């Protein structure tokens, strides 16, 4: 289960990274050029979208990397990552798969239970 969490989390987080780059870039371009905001609109919570665009993918990648050794911590990081991206962007056609992949990876990592080696989660 931890290998599945690692794989799903990493793939989903990399897709989130691409979405985050575009979202952060869009907020910058829209802030600099008012015409873009008039035509395409702006996020309601621009600063939150910026923070989520940076922290969401990072937490997903970190959580996926920790999924094998520290499954509980990695799973919590991936669940928080999926929650951040959901709060920032909602469930759209573009965000459904990465949010679902990282969220499921987080649940798998938390549910992995006992590690192969007797190492506590804390």
Q: DSSP H helical segments within 1-122, as ranges? A: 2-32, 34-40, 46-66, 71-89, 96-111
How many beta carbons lie within 10 A of that of residue 24, not counting itself? 16
Place of tokens 């979208």: 49
Domains of the chain by residue range: 2-111
pLDDT number for residue 32: 85
The pLDDT tens digits along the chain (122 residues) read 889 999 999 999 999 999 999 999 988 888 888 887 778 877 788 889 999 999 999 999 999 999 988 889 999 999 999 999 999 999 999 999 999 999 999 999 999 866 556 666 55
pLDDT number for residue 13: 95
CA 62 to chain CA centroid, nearest Å:
10
Q: What is the dihedral of CA 112, 9, 3, 111, to 10 degrees?
A: 10
Cα radius of gyration (the chain): 16
**pTM listed for this prediction:** 0.85
pLDDT number for residue 120: 61
pLDDT number for residue 122: 58
CA 72 to chain CA centroid, nearest Å:
17
Question: Using CA atoms, how far apart are residues 61 and 41, in angstroms rounded to an integer?
Answer: 30
Q: What is the SS3 assignment for 42?
A: coil
């Amino acid at each position: 289960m931890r290998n599945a969490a690692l794989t799903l989390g990493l793939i989903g987080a990399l897709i989130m990274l691409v979405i985050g780059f575009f979202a952060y870039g869009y907020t910058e371009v829209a802030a600099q050029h008012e015409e873009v905001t008039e035509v395409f609109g702006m996020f309601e919570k621009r600063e939150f979208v910026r923070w989520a665009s940076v922290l969401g993918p990072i937490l997903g990648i970190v959580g996926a990397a920790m999924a094998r050794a520290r499954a509980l911590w990695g799973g919590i990081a991936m669940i928080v990552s999926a929650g951040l991206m959901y709060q920032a962007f909602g469930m759209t056609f573009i965000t459904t798969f990465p949010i679902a992949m990282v969220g499921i990876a987080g649940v798998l990592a938390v549910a992995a239970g006992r590690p192969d080696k007797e190492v506590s989660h804390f």
